[in-house]
Amino acid sequence: MIDWLASIGKTENGGVTRLLYTSSWLEAQLALKNIMDQSNLHTYFDSVGNLFGRLPGTESNEKTILTGSHIDTVVDGGKYDGAYGIIASFIAVLRLFQAYGSPKKTIEVVSLCEEEGSRFPLTFWGSRNISGAYTLDLVKEVKDSEGIPFLEAMKQAGFDPDNYTPPIRDDVERFVEIHIEQGMILEKNQNQVGIVTHIVGQRRFTIHINGESNHAGTTPMQYRKDAVSTAAHFISFLTEKAKATDPQLVATVGRLHVKPNVPNVVAGEVEFSLDIRHHQENIMDQYCHEIFTEFKRFSESLNMEVAITQWMDVKPVKMDEEMCDWAREIAERKNYRYQEMISGAGHDAQVFGTECATSLLFVPSQNGISHSPKEFTSLEELETGIDLLTEVLYKLAY
C-alpha cells in the first residue's frame, strides 16, 4: 500500500511530490476514498479536502476517536512521511472491524489535506481547520511560487471556497497519529517503536550585529568593530551553552549573511538565523536569557550594536500521559523494544494535542533520512507500528 500510494505523484528520482490541491494530491485523496468505500467505511470530505473514513460506534455516536496523518508531501519527498500514518490507521481499523465488528466508540480514519507547507507558505492547513485555528480568511491573499492564488487552487481541486463551512470538530475525543521518526534515535538504540511524550517548541530569531567596516591592513586589532569575529563568539557561545544547558536542547545557526563579504575588508555587518527547540518553555526561557545577555554584554564591550528579532514562537505540546501509559503497557505486553522520546519535528499531533487527548507514535527511519526519496522503513517495522496502533485503538474504542 505504501508503494501504491507513492505511485501517485511519483518523481523521476523515485520520490513523491503531492502538493496541496494539485492533480496528484486529488488523485491520492480519491484513491484513498475509494479503498475506504470498498471497506465499508463511511467516507466524506470536509470543505478544505480532509478525507474521513468513519466506522460508527454502537454505544456512542457523539464522540469520535480520530486517527491518521497527512497526504501531502514536500517536493521530491519520501513514500512514508504522512502516508504511512494514513495507511496504518486504515489497516488497523480494518483489522479491528474484521476481528471484533463495530466498535463501541466511533472511529474515524483521517487523511489530512496539508501539513508540510510545501506549496503555500503556511503549515497544518488540514488540522488547523479542524481545530478552528485557521479559516478561509487567512489564505485570501496567499499565493504559491507560481502566483496561483490559494483559493483558486482550492476551487480547481473541487473544494469551492464559496461552499466553505468551517470544518471545525468539537466531537474529537482523542487523536492518535503514527509517523516515521525522521531521525535516527530509534535506529541507534535498536528500538522498534517510539512513544512520544512531547513535541518540541520552536523559537526562531534573526540576530543582527552592527559593527564598522574598515581596512583589513591598516586597522589595528584593538580598534576594530568586527562583526564577523563577534558573530563567531556568539555562535560558539550559544553552541557550548546549548550543550551545557540540557541534552534535549538544540540550537542551530543555519544562515549567515556578511556585509560587505569581501576578503580584505573588516565586516561591518553580520546577520544570522537562530533556531532553538526544546520541550519545556522554562528551559528555553533560561537559555535565551543567558545567551542574549552575553550577546549584549560582549557587543557593548566593543561599542557595537546587536539587534535580536524573534519571528517564530511555537509552544511545546505535551502528549496525553494516560495514552502514553497505555501504549507503553501494550509495547511491554507484546515484547516490543520501545522507548519514550521527544519529537524534534512538528506533526499534526501538536495541533490536536492542544485540543484533545493526543498520542504520537514513531517507527524507525533508516539512517534518520526523511523528506527524501531515500526515506525507508522496513516492512517488519511498519507492521510492528500498525500492530501497536491497532492495540491502542482497541483500547480506546472497543
Interface residue list for Zn ion (CB under 5 A): 81-82
Considering the complex, state which of residue 68 and residue 82 has its C-beta at the smaller distance from Zn ion: 82
State in angstroms the smallest separation of the CB of 15 from Zn ion. Answer: 14
State in angstroms the smallest separation of the CB of 77 from Zn ion. Answer: 9
Considering the complex, state which of residue 330 and residue 382 has its C-beta at the smaller distance from Zn ion: 382
SS3 18: coil
Considering the complex, state which of residue 144 and residue 181 has its C-beta at the smaller distance from Zn ion: 181
Q: Are the C-beta atoms of 48 and 345 separated by less than 8 Å? A: no
Considering the complex, state which of residue 108 and residue 114 has its C-beta at the smaller distance from Zn ion: 114
State in angstroms the smallest separation of the CB of 308 from Zn ion. Answer: 31
Half-sphere exposure of 341 (CA within 13 A, CB side): 24
- Give the separation between CA 250 and CA 261, rounded to whole angstroms: 28
Considering the complex, state which of residue 52 and residue 124 has its C-beta at the smaller distance from Zn ion: 124
Considering the complex, state which of residue 129 and residue 350 has its C-beta at the smaller distance from Zn ion: 350
Which residue, among 290, 296, 228, 225, has the nearest Cα to 262 in the 3D structure? 228
Considering the complex, state which of residue 81 and residue 181 has its C-beta at the smaller distance from Zn ion: 81
Here the cell at position 12 is 523521476
- Give the separation between CA 240 and CA 14, rounded to whole angstroms: 40
- Give the separation between CA 227 and CA 208, rounded to whole angstroms: 9
**Alpha carbon 150 to chain centroid, angstroms:** 21
State in angstroms the smallest separation of the CB of 270 from Zn ion. Answer: 34
Which residue, among 194, 286, 277, 288, has the nearest Cα to 234 in the 3D structure? 288
State in angstroms the smallest separation of the CB of 18 from Zn ion. Answer: 12
- Give the separation between CA 298 and CA 305, rounded to whole angstroms: 10
State in angstroms the smallest separation of the CB of 82 from Zn ion. Answer: 4
Q: Are the C-beta atoms of 178 and 389 separated by less than 8 Å? A: yes
Length of the chain: 398
Here the cell at position 329 is 503497557
State in angstroms the smallest separation of the CB of 86 from Zn ion. Answer: 10
